[in-house]
Protein backbone atom coordinates (compact mmCIF):
# COMPACT_ATOMS: atom_id res chain seq x y z
CA UNK A 1 0.00 0.00 0.00
CA UNK A 2 1.25 3.46 -0.89
CA UNK A 3 1.52 6.03 1.89
CA UNK A 4 0.46 9.29 0.27
CA UNK A 5 0.99 12.46 2.31
CA UNK A 6 -1.32 15.35 1.46
CA UNK A 7 -0.35 18.94 0.84
CA UNK A 8 -3.32 21.30 0.67
CA UNK A 9 -2.63 24.73 -0.80
CA UNK A 10 -4.25 28.08 0.01
CA UNK A 11 -2.47 31.30 -1.05
CA UNK A 12 0.55 29.20 -2.02
CA UNK A 13 0.93 27.90 1.57
CA UNK A 14 0.66 24.41 3.02
CA UNK A 15 -2.51 24.26 5.15
CA UNK A 16 -4.97 21.78 6.63
CA UNK A 17 -8.70 22.23 7.10
CA UNK A 18 -11.04 20.43 9.53
CA UNK A 19 -14.06 18.77 7.88
CA UNK A 20 -13.24 20.73 4.72
CA UNK A 21 -14.19 24.00 6.43
CA UNK A 22 -12.20 26.95 5.05
CA UNK A 23 -12.87 28.80 8.32
CA UNK A 24 -11.04 26.05 10.22
CA UNK A 25 -7.70 26.56 8.50
CA UNK A 26 -4.24 26.04 9.95
CA UNK A 27 -1.08 27.04 8.09
CA UNK A 28 1.72 24.50 8.59
CA UNK A 29 4.37 25.84 6.25
CA UNK A 30 4.75 28.90 4.04
CA UNK A 31 6.71 26.82 1.53
CA UNK A 32 5.06 23.60 0.23
CA UNK A 33 8.21 22.67 -1.73
CA UNK A 34 10.12 22.33 1.55
CA UNK A 35 7.40 20.01 2.87
CA UNK A 36 7.46 17.91 -0.32
CA UNK A 37 11.26 17.60 -0.14
CA UNK A 38 11.00 16.46 3.48
CA UNK A 39 8.52 13.75 2.45
CA UNK A 40 10.76 12.61 -0.39
CA UNK A 41 13.80 12.60 1.92
CA UNK A 42 11.94 10.25 4.26
CA UNK A 43 11.36 7.74 1.45
CA UNK A 44 7.86 8.78 0.35
CA UNK A 45 7.24 8.28 -3.40
CA UNK A 46 3.71 9.63 -3.92
CA UNK A 47 2.10 12.96 -3.05
CA UNK A 48 -1.53 14.13 -2.97
CA UNK A 49 -1.56 17.84 -3.84
CA UNK A 50 -4.83 19.76 -3.49
CA UNK A 51 -5.47 23.25 -4.82
CA UNK A 52 -8.02 24.51 -2.28
CA UNK A 53 -8.07 27.95 -3.91
CA UNK A 54 -8.86 26.16 -7.17
CA UNK A 55 -11.66 24.17 -5.55
CA UNK A 56 -13.27 27.44 -4.48
CA UNK A 57 -12.58 29.29 -7.75
CA UNK A 58 -13.67 26.30 -9.90
CA UNK A 59 -10.52 26.45 -12.03
CA UNK A 60 -6.86 25.65 -11.46
CA UNK A 61 -5.07 28.34 -9.40
CA UNK A 62 -1.93 26.96 -7.73
CA UNK A 63 -0.34 25.30 -10.76
CA UNK A 64 2.98 27.05 -10.07
CA UNK A 65 3.23 25.24 -6.72
CA UNK A 66 2.66 21.97 -8.58
CA UNK A 67 5.32 22.92 -11.12
CA UNK A 68 7.89 23.76 -8.42
CA UNK A 69 7.31 20.51 -6.52
CA UNK A 70 7.39 18.47 -9.75
CA UNK A 71 10.67 20.04 -10.92
CA UNK A 72 12.40 19.98 -7.52
CA UNK A 73 11.42 16.45 -6.45
CA UNK A 74 10.84 13.05 -8.07
CA UNK A 75 7.53 12.54 -6.27
CA UNK A 76 4.64 11.01 -8.21
CA UNK A 77 2.02 13.72 -7.79
CA UNK A 78 -1.74 13.40 -8.06
CA UNK A 79 -3.28 16.84 -8.32
CA UNK A 80 -6.84 17.97 -7.69
CA UNK A 81 -8.98 20.89 -6.67
CA UNK A 82 -11.11 22.86 -9.09
CA UNK A 83 -10.19 21.06 -12.30
CA UNK A 84 -13.21 21.73 -14.47
CA UNK A 85 -12.09 21.93 -18.10
CA UNK A 86 -9.82 20.46 -20.73
CA UNK A 87 -7.58 23.50 -20.24
CA UNK A 88 -7.31 22.84 -16.48
CA UNK A 89 -6.33 19.23 -17.13
CA UNK A 90 -3.76 20.30 -19.71
CA UNK A 91 -2.19 22.86 -17.35
CA UNK A 92 -2.01 20.28 -14.54
CA UNK A 93 -0.30 17.65 -16.69
CA UNK A 94 2.03 20.22 -18.28
CA UNK A 95 2.96 21.41 -14.78
CA UNK A 96 4.06 17.92 -13.75
CA UNK A 97 1.05 16.04 -12.40
CA UNK A 98 1.29 12.27 -12.93
CA UNK A 99 -2.44 11.92 -12.28
CA UNK A 100 -5.32 14.33 -11.81
CA UNK A 101 -8.34 13.95 -9.56
CA UNK A 102 -11.84 15.02 -10.57
CA UNK A 103 -14.68 15.01 -8.08
CA UNK A 104 -17.29 17.69 -8.71
CA UNK A 105 -16.74 17.52 -12.47
CA UNK A 106 -17.42 13.76 -12.49
CA UNK A 107 -20.84 14.56 -11.00
CA UNK A 108 -21.72 17.78 -12.80
CA UNK A 109 -19.99 17.37 -16.15
CA UNK A 110 -19.41 13.66 -16.77
CA UNK A 111 -18.86 14.25 -20.48
CA UNK A 112 -15.73 16.33 -19.81
CA UNK A 113 -14.49 13.91 -17.14
CA UNK A 114 -14.94 10.92 -19.44
CA UNK A 115 -13.18 12.93 -22.15
CA UNK A 116 -10.14 13.14 -19.88
CA UNK A 117 -10.18 9.37 -19.44
CA UNK A 118 -10.29 8.94 -23.20
CA UNK A 119 -7.62 11.55 -23.94
CA UNK A 120 -5.08 10.73 -21.23
CA UNK A 121 -5.93 7.12 -20.34
CA UNK A 122 -7.93 5.89 -17.34
CA UNK A 123 -4.72 5.22 -15.37
CA UNK A 124 -4.01 9.00 -15.31
CA UNK A 125 -7.44 10.00 -13.99
CA UNK A 126 -8.57 9.52 -10.39
CA UNK A 127 -12.23 9.67 -9.45
CA UNK A 128 -12.77 11.86 -6.41
CA UNK A 129 -15.58 10.16 -4.46
CA UNK A 130 -15.96 12.42 -1.44
CA UNK A 131 -18.94 11.58 0.71
CA UNK A 132 -20.93 12.31 3.83
CA UNK A 133 -23.12 9.47 5.14
CA UNK A 134 -22.53 7.68 1.80
CA UNK A 135 -23.84 10.65 -0.22
CA UNK A 136 -21.48 12.30 -2.71
CA UNK A 137 -20.31 15.83 -1.83
CA UNK A 138 -19.03 18.36 -4.37
CA UNK A 139 -17.70 21.91 -4.74
CA UNK A 140 -14.97 21.64 -2.12
CA UNK A 141 -17.48 19.79 0.10
CA UNK A 142 -19.68 22.87 0.26
CA UNK A 143 -22.56 20.88 -1.24
CA UNK A 144 -23.88 17.38 -0.48
CA UNK A 145 -25.85 15.68 -3.26
CA UNK A 146 -28.45 12.91 -3.15
CA UNK A 147 -26.13 10.72 -5.22
CA UNK A 148 -25.27 7.45 -3.48
CA UNK A 149 -21.56 6.70 -3.19
CA UNK A 150 -21.91 3.08 -4.30
CA UNK A 151 -24.07 3.94 -7.31
CA UNK A 152 -21.50 6.58 -8.26
CA UNK A 153 -18.61 4.09 -8.04
CA UNK A 154 -20.59 1.43 -9.92
CA UNK A 155 -21.31 3.86 -12.75
CA UNK A 156 -17.69 4.93 -13.17
CA UNK A 157 -16.10 1.50 -12.77
CA UNK A 158 -18.43 0.41 -15.59
CA UNK A 159 -17.02 3.30 -17.64
CA UNK A 160 -13.46 2.11 -17.00
CA UNK A 161 -12.25 4.15 -14.05
CA UNK A 162 -9.36 2.37 -12.29
CA UNK A 163 -8.49 4.72 -9.41
CA UNK A 164 -10.70 6.39 -6.81
CA UNK A 165 -9.97 8.53 -3.77
CA UNK A 166 -12.75 8.20 -1.23
CA UNK A 167 -12.86 10.75 1.56
CA UNK A 168 -15.36 10.55 4.39
CA UNK A 169 -15.82 14.26 5.13
CA UNK A 170 -17.05 13.57 8.66
CA UNK A 171 -13.62 12.10 9.44
CA UNK A 172 -11.35 14.45 7.51
CA UNK A 173 -8.96 16.52 9.60
CA UNK A 174 -10.63 15.49 12.85
CA UNK A 175 -7.88 13.09 14.01
CA UNK A 176 -10.52 10.65 15.27
CA UNK A 177 -9.76 7.63 13.10
CA UNK A 178 -10.69 6.65 9.58
CA UNK A 179 -13.79 5.02 8.05
CA UNK A 180 -12.56 1.42 8.14
CA UNK A 181 -16.03 -0.13 7.70
CA UNK A 182 -16.83 2.07 4.71
CA UNK A 183 -13.59 1.13 2.97
CA UNK A 184 -14.14 -2.57 3.71
CA UNK A 185 -17.53 -2.29 2.03
CA UNK A 186 -16.03 -0.55 -1.03
CA UNK A 187 -13.23 -3.14 -1.28
CA UNK A 188 -15.81 -5.92 -1.08
CA UNK A 189 -18.06 -4.46 -3.81
CA UNK A 190 -15.28 -3.19 -6.10
CA UNK A 191 -12.29 -5.53 -5.62
CA UNK A 192 -10.55 -4.42 -8.83
CA UNK A 193 -10.71 -0.70 -8.04
CA UNK A 194 -7.46 0.95 -6.88
CA UNK A 195 -8.99 2.43 -3.73
CA UNK A 196 -7.17 5.29 -2.04
CA UNK A 197 -8.53 5.90 1.45
CA UNK A 198 -8.55 9.45 2.72
CA UNK A 199 -9.74 11.27 5.80
CA UNK A 200 -9.14 10.74 9.48
CA UNK A 201 -6.05 8.49 9.33
CA UNK A 202 -4.74 9.17 12.82
CA UNK A 203 -2.60 6.26 13.98
CA UNK A 204 -0.53 3.36 12.73
CA UNK A 205 -3.50 1.12 13.64
CA UNK A 206 -5.52 2.95 10.96
CA UNK A 207 -2.69 2.49 8.46
CA UNK A 208 -2.38 -1.24 9.22
CA UNK A 209 -6.17 -1.75 8.94
CA UNK A 210 -6.26 -0.08 5.51
CA UNK A 211 -3.27 -2.07 4.33
CA UNK A 212 -4.74 -5.37 5.51
CA UNK A 213 -7.99 -4.81 3.62
CA UNK A 214 -6.06 -4.23 0.41
CA UNK A 215 -6.33 -0.48 -0.15
CA UNK A 216 -4.05 0.77 -2.93
CA UNK A 217 -3.11 3.86 -0.96
CA UNK A 218 -3.76 5.84 2.20
CA UNK A 219 -3.70 9.63 2.17
CA UNK A 220 -2.44 11.12 5.42
CA UNK A 221 -2.45 14.81 6.23
CA UNK A 222 -2.97 16.31 9.64
CA UNK A 223 -1.70 13.25 11.54
CA UNK A 224 1.76 13.83 10.00
CA UNK A 225 1.72 17.60 10.52
CA UNK A 226 0.57 17.27 14.13
CA UNK A 227 3.13 14.55 14.87
CA UNK A 228 0.55 11.83 15.58
CA UNK A 229 2.32 9.63 13.03
CA UNK A 230 6.04 9.89 12.32
CA UNK A 231 7.34 9.59 8.77
CA UNK A 232 9.91 6.98 9.87
CA UNK A 233 7.02 4.79 11.09
CA UNK A 234 5.36 5.01 7.69
CA UNK A 235 8.50 4.27 5.67
CA UNK A 236 10.53 1.66 7.61
- In this predicted model, what pLDDT tens digit does every residue of 151-165 receive, in sequence order? 999 999 999 999 999
Backbone φ and ψ of 15, nearest 5°? -130, 170
Domains contained in the chain, number: 1
**Residues with active-site annotation:** 8, 130
User: Which 8-state DSSP code applies to residue 228?
Assistant: S
**pLDDT tens string 164-182:** 999 888 766 657 789 899 9
Flag whether pLDDT at 140 surpasses 60: no
What's the CATH code of the domain at 50? 3.20.20.70
Which domain, by its residues, includes 85? 2-234
| Beta-bridge mates of residue 3 | 218
Flag whether pLDDT at 84 surpasses 90: yes
Mean pLDDT of 77-85: 95
Q: Please tell me the least confidently modeled range out of 135-139, 195-199, 200-204.
A: 135-139
Q: Which residues contact 136 (CB under 8 A, 6 or more apart)?
A: 107, 129, 130, 144, 145, 147, 148, 149, 152
Other C-beta atoms lying within 10 Å of the C-beta of residue 126? 25
Amino acid sequence: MYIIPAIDIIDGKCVRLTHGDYNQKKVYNENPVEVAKEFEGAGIVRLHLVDLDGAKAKHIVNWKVLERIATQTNLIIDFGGGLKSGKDAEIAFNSGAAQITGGSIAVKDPKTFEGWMEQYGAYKIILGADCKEEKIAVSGWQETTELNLFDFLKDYTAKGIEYAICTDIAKDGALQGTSVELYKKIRSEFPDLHLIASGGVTSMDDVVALKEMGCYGAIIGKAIYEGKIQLNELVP
